[in-house]
Amino acid sequence: MLTEEQKKQIEIENEKIDKTLSDITNRIVVFSGKGGVGKTTISINLACGLKLKGHTTGILDADVTGPNVPKMLGVSEQLTISKNRIIPQEKYGVKVVSLASMVSEDQPIIWRGPMRSKLLNQFIGDVEWGNLDFLIADLPPGTGDEVITMTTKLKPEMAIIVTTPQAVSLIDSKRAITMAKKMEIPNIGLIENMSGLLCPKCGYNIELFGAGGGSEQAKEMGVEFLGSLPIDIETRKAADEGYPIVLQNDSTENSNAMMKIVERIENQIALTEKI
């Protein structure tokens, strides 16, 4: 049972969250069943891609125990707090908030679920996000506390589920899609990442994780297929170096595919708003 004091605190917290959300037009959660499928790489590229299209955009790193957004965006400064509010960092015109910008690099976050959820509530309600067209939340793998909290509190317009063509990843993404449906998220899209790998020298098709399976799964489960992204060493390197591939001058197959997904997201959300 909650005490009166605790109830009052939750009420204040929820009011702050609602106030923040009223200035953010579209919220998108990016998640997956399996880990290591490229959620963060895709999240930072979508955020930068939406910014390129002229939208004000923010990215919230909701992977509390493995926060990699700052590294992949090349943000190394610590977050600042002003008048009890967290001030997002800004990189490539995108606002960024992550726990990685509050702790040192080797510090493990040994926190149980309730504490992680409390932090995520603060990352919505206590952050000066300001007016945003899009806020992208990069979630940890699985369907645990962070995913439950973010899909409940953020009330997202869209869930993007990332999978690879690997059998175990497709099983896990099925679970993730079912969860998004249960949470009644209005738009659900699937991306097949790490789809196929051609040897950069001889062009041989290397079946690392296989290819295909994503579009059939999307059809079978009645969700939007947003596109396939090939395995691309440049995209991985760009992320490791903190410089997302969509921002680099030479447009590659992968950055073009990423921008096409950005356009599909714009269309999908515009369509929902018309209804």
Per CB under 8 A, does 184 bind its own copies? no
Q: What is the rounded distance in angstroms from the CA atom of residue 224 to the CA atom of residue 191?
A: 9
- A 10 A CB-CB count for 14 gives 13
192 forms beta bridges with 163, 228
Per CB under 8 A, does 207 bind its own copies? yes
- A 10 A CB-CB count for 219 gives 12
The one segment of 22-30, 87-95, 112-120, 259-267 that binds its own copies by CB under 8 A: 112-120
DSSP 123-173: HHHTB---SEEEEEEEPPSSSSHHHHHHHHHS--SEEEEEE-SSHHHHHHH
Per CB under 8 A, does 83 bind its own copies? no
Tell me the closest approach of the beta carbon of residue 158 to its own copies, in angstroms: 18
CA distances from 123 to 13, 20, 81, 134 (A): 11, 10, 12, 15
For tokens 């009330």, name the residue. Answer: 155
Among 54, 77, 112, 222, binds its own copies (CB under 8 A): 112
Per CB under 8 A, does 204 bind its own copies? yes
Dihedrals phi, psi of 158, to nearest 5 degrees: -150, 140
Among 85, 148, 230, 252, binds its own copies (CB under 8 A): 148
Interaction mask 113-142, its own copies, x per CB under 8 A: xx-xx----------------------xxx
The one segment of 19-27, 57-65, 81-89, 250-258 that binds its own copies by CB under 8 A: 57-65
Among 10, 12, 81, 167, binds its own copies (CB under 8 A): 167
Residue placing its CB nearer to its own copies in the complex, 101 or 117: 117
Q: What is the rounded distance in angstroms from the CA atom of residue 48 to the CA atom of residue 245?
A: 9
Per CB under 8 A, does 111 bind its own copies? yes
Among 17, 62, 72, 132, binds its own copies (CB under 8 A): 72
| 91 alpha carbon, distance to own chain's centre | 16
For residues 52 and 244, the answer to whether their CB atoms sit within 8 Å is no
Per CB under 8 A, does 260 bind its own copies? no
For residues 37 and 158, the answer to whether their CB atoms sit within 8 Å is no
Per CB under 8 A, does 192 bind its own copies? no
Q: Which residues bind its own copies (CB under 8 A)?
A: 33-37, 40, 63-66, 68, 71-72, 105-114, 116-117, 140-145, 147-148, 166-168, 171-172, 174-179, 182, 197, 199-202, 204, 206-209, 231, 233, 236-237, 239-240
